[in-house]
Amino acid sequence: MDCAANGAEALASFHIKHQSLLILDIAMPVMNGEEAFHELKQICKEKKWEMPAVIFCTGYTPPDSIREAIANENIHCYLPKPVTKETLVNAREEPCRVL
The residues that bridge with 50 in the sheet, in sequence order, are: none
How confident is the model over 18-62, as pLDDT tens digits? Answer: 999 999 999 888 999 999 999 999 999 999 999 999 999 988 888
On whether residue 1 sits in a domain, the answer given is no
On whether residue 99 sits in a domain, the answer given is no
pLDDT bin (cut points 50, 70, 90) of residue 5 is: confident
On whether residue 65 sits in a domain, the answer given is yes
On whether residue 25 sits in a domain, the answer given is yes
On whether residue 45 sits in a domain, the answer given is yes
On whether residue 71 sits in a domain, the answer given is yes
On whether residue 63 sits in a domain, the answer given is yes
User: pTM of the entire structure?
Assistant: 0.86
On whether residue 80 sits in a domain, the answer given is yes
CATH of the domain at 12: 3.40.50.2300
Q: How much of the chain is in helix, strand and coil states, percent to nearest 5?
A: 45, 15, 40
**Residue 18 Rama label (left phi>0; alpha psi -120 to 50; beta):** left
User: How many domains are there within the chain?
Assistant: 1
**Cα–Cα distance between 84 and 74 in angstroms, integer?**
22
Are the C-beta atoms of 41 and 78 separated by less than 8 Å? Answer: no
Domain interval for residue 64: 7-93
**Residue 14 Rama label (left phi>0; alpha psi -120 to 50; beta):** alpha
